[in-house]
Amino acid sequence: MKRFILIAALCLPVAGLATTFDGTDEEVLDIVEIRVAEKDMAKCEQTLRTLRQKPVVTDSGFQLPNFMRNDDLPTSVCVVDA
């Protein structure tokens, strides 16, 4: 019985964490528009491609796990400034 209580106590925080990430699929992600001149559009898009290949880290330098990389971060796009 003690073993069951111990296992249940260890599983509850994990179950709570799983329900926290449940609602993220339904939310609309933020889109950051980077306005550039038409002549700088190719350079902007190349820079964004380069940045997407780098690992995502926090301010303290800790690398984020794979399941947190794409869901929580805003999307960046280059837009021609009119």
- How confident is the model over 9-53, as pLDDT tens digits? 677 666 555 555 555 555 566 888 999 999 999 999 999 999 888
CA 25 to CA 14: how far, in whole Å?
19
**Whole-number pLDDT of residue 68:** 65
* pTM for this entry: 0.52
Domain boundaries, the chain: 2-80
**Whole-number pLDDT of residue 27:** 58
CA 21 to CA 17: how far, in whole Å?
7
CA 66 to CA 62: how far, in whole Å?
13
